[in-house]
Structure 1
Amino acid sequence: MEHAKRSACRTQLTKAINAINANLSGNSTIEEITQSMAKLKLGLDNLKEADEKILPLLKDNLEDEFLKSMEYEETATSLMSRLEYRKQNLSSTSYLIITRTRMRDFSSRARSVKIPQLETEFFLQHDA
């Protein structure tokens, strides 16, 4: 039973990793990246839980089992870092676009404000 659960967890995590890698190079939104991060974390958490239950039951090839578990964790952690980096870049880009849009709106409103003409005679009379 525990072997089947761990196998299913590995399959789930592998599918999530492959899907994320395929979509990471595209134009993902912040929401899609956040969802991918959640799926990746869930898959990794499920696999860790399954590993904790099955590793004490194993007698042979323990080193291989530990190495395989560490490979999954390393791959998922690396991908999580890439997702976080991409998310931060998208957030920064979104902030810049919003800021530029607001500045353009402010600039166009500022150009439409009419400032009264100053009377130059007043200044000339008081300077003399």
Structure 2
Amino acid sequence: MDIPLMGGEYTWSNNHTWSRLDRFLISPSWELQFPDLNQKRLQRLCSDHFPVLLDGGGVQGGRRPFKFEDMWLKKEGFVDLVRNWWNSYLFKGNPSKVLAGKLKALKKDLKTWNEQEFGDITR
């Protein structure tokens, strides 16, 4: 499947003849995955080919990454609260699995606690 070329019709020229030789081809599943894909013809500098850039249309917004807030440390009892949560999590498996499970559970608890204590502080 050919995708749209922005910035010009042709990708090759010897200054007498123009042709579209260079292109990205994608499968239908790629088109579903990246609906805003297009090709951009860039300025040619020293070749008879124009460079072609595949543009994915930017990063799709997803979940906000988890951020530890400094203000939490100022809240009285916070460190003890985290320690109690951490010690209450029971996971089995190798040490890295246990650590990953505890971190995931702590993240969930911190997010819930943050909303209860400070409300929605979305940036």
Q: Tell me which interval the TM-score lies in, with the shorter structure as reference length.
A: under 0.3
Q: Return the structure number with greater strand share.
A: 2
Higher relative contact order at CA 8 Å, sep ≥6: structure 1 or structure 2? 1
Q: Return the structure number with greater helix share.
A: 1
TM-score by length of structure 2 reads 0.25
TM-score by length of structure 1 reads 0.25
Structure of greater Rg? 1
